[in-house]
Structure 1
């Protein structure tokens, strides 16, 4: 997330809008961003999202993570709020700044990872918090934060076929990755710079297909009214080095983008956010579209749909 100063009209500040539900964006009764999608053992697809609070004040008011799930990619259940800044014992007393999260599962426990500052000087005090639950969408309790990390954001956890979990995070042009211990709350060894990425900005996400690892992320593109594009690189190792492959999603109508890629019932999907409902950068909405691969494993450009059912 990159904060920008902006102004809102009085009429916009005091407007209250309610939305129905169909097509993209697929959540319309609240503003959401940074969708982290996972398929768990119960057969449902879950999306862990950050929450843009209206009226916005840049990205600092973000708070109150929600979880949504589906079993048909059309009908979505809002499981409600699972965590807010006020529940983080080590967090900044001013609250807010609950940015892009992720979730992982091991041995009956769901691990929810979230970035949050521990001080008023938020940009230099980021920590990656960990909350746990026996349920995928409720009863999360903050356990602490991952020790020894730099002040960066956008946690991503990828669990490989052999059960080894890997942790990635970054921001501001830096992306690092490393192994997680079995307890899922400690780094095993040192974090390593992810080499081979081109114009990395933030929003790292790792998935695997046919033995090939994919690291997707948003770039720094910002010219002529165009904003973050979603790019990707591939490797035969979960920690690289990576080979840059290009862009798989053009800019949306939002200054930022943050996505995840997941397979569900034989179809791959790209999750992302835009500002289609609010037409404003910091009131975003999560979307999804089908994602396709070429025969050589490269990703085709995602066709961003609007108000279309999947």
Structure 2
């Protein structure tokens, strides 16, 4: 009986003590926004081989006049989801040889890694008629947060009107896919091995409902997810929500699933979804620091999936 009691006590310590330790190890996020010293927007989050999570963001300029003043990109990283390092500015419009002379219009970017090189993709107009002259530039580096050099832009993308927000997804087999869109149109295609040219004609992403902009693709348990911002407005002002759709293929067709992030108070919404150290996170921006929808700040919250693969609506904190 004494040995049985001892065994039960040990089991109790293991069961309840183990659960307590597990809870203590759960990641507790810091307050949002997590970047406060400058205004930031359009977070593109990635985990690279060095064990850190990196966020590539656009930069709102204070005092604001409009998105035309956005002119430079910063990179931030963390290894604990609480303490963030600002790696500084990695690119601005003066470094883009084919860009518009007036600068500005450095909107939502993305980054990808393949064969020892980081590829930074960014939208930028090439002329005064900015909304009809968008191009998707490509800068490369051997490092994730410095020494990026503009190599040119992706050619043969067709009609440039309102086509912004590049996203590049690299699948498990190493094949890279390019997506972008705006003004209600979203397209995608395979990329060539060089990561700077499309390998096939762009095709529309079919099955999306109320697409506006901000395409983002991620994969979980063999299922592809395409998330994006809608055209929702409140009181005559932009109040975009973030939606998502799923597919068995990286280029669709997509099955619409619903909204995963409600409006954040900003004029626009833009997000990314990434897994880090076993947890999933939703990145987005809000106006908590400025109180103005065009002076935004990047945020992060936990993202949870239902057993059937659908996404629960994010609780913003």
**1:229-250: per-residue Cα shift (whole Å, max 9, x none)?**
0000000000000000000011
Which residue in the other structure is 2:207 paired with? 196
* Contact kept? 2:243, 2:258, Cα under 8 Å: yes
Q: Comparing both chains, which one has the higher relative contact order based on Cα–Cα distances under 8 Å and sequence gaps of 6 or more?
A: 1
Candidates 150, 160, 170, aligned match of 1:142 = 150
Question: Which has the larger helix fraction?
Answer: 2
Aligned equivalents of 1:70 and 1:38: distance in 2?
A: 11
Candidates 290, 299, 307, aligned match of 2:302 = 290
Which residue in the other structure is 1:227 paired with? 239
Aligned equivalents of 1:279 and 1:122: distance in 2?
A: 28
Unaligned runs of 5+ in 2: 1-29
After TM superposition, the runs of 4+ consecutive aligned structure 1 residues lying more than 2 A away are: 223-226
Q: State the secondary structure of the residue aligned to 2:270.
A: coil
**1:193-236: per-residue Cα shift (whole Å, max 9, x none)?**
00000000000000000000000000001034671000000000
**1:57-116: per-residue Cα shift (whole Å, max 9, x none)?**
111000110000000000000000000000000000000000000000001100000000
Aligned equivalents of 2:193 and 2:65: distance in 1?
A: 39
Which residue in the other structure is 2:12 paired with? none
Aligned equivalents of 1:223 and 1:199: distance in 2?
A: 15
Aligned equivalents of 2:152 and 2:228: distance in 1?
A: 26
Which residue in the other structure is 2:278 paired with? 266
Which residue in the other structure is 1:116 paired with? 124
**1:275-305: per-residue Cα shift (whole Å, max 9, x none)?**
1100111110000000000000000000000
Aligned equivalents of 1:255 and 1:304: distance in 2?
A: 17
Which residue in the other structure is 1:178 paired with? 189
Q: CA RMSD in A?
A: 1.1
Candidates 49, 58, 83, aligned match of 1:75 = 83
Unaligned runs of 5+ in 1: 1-21, 306-310
Q: State the secondary structure of the residue aligned to 1:188.
A: coil
Aligned equivalents of 1:223 and 1:70: distance in 2?
A: 35
* Contact kept? 2:238, 2:268, Cα under 8 Å: no
Which residue in the other structure is 2:60 paired with? 52
- Kindly tell me: are residues 54 and 226 of structure 1, through their superposed partners in 2, closer, same or farther at Cα, counting changes over 3 Å? closer
**1:17-64: per-residue Cα shift (whole Å, max 9, x none)?**
xxxxx5100000000000000000000000000000111111100011
Q: State the secondary structure of the residue aligned to 1:142.
A: strand
Q: State the secondary structure of the residue aligned to 2:156.
A: coil
Matched length: 285
For the pair shown, the structure with the greater C-alpha radius of gyration is 2
Equivalent residue runs for 1:1-310 within 5 Å: 23-149=31-157, 150-151=159-160, 152-224=163-235, 227-305=239-317
Aligned equivalents of 1:160 and 1:167: distance in 2?
A: 11
TM value normalised by structure 1? 0.91
Aligned equivalents of 2:166 and 2:32: distance in 1?
A: 25
Aligned equivalents of 1:165 and 1:156: distance in 2?
A: 10
* Contact kept? 2:213, 2:228, Cα under 8 Å: yes
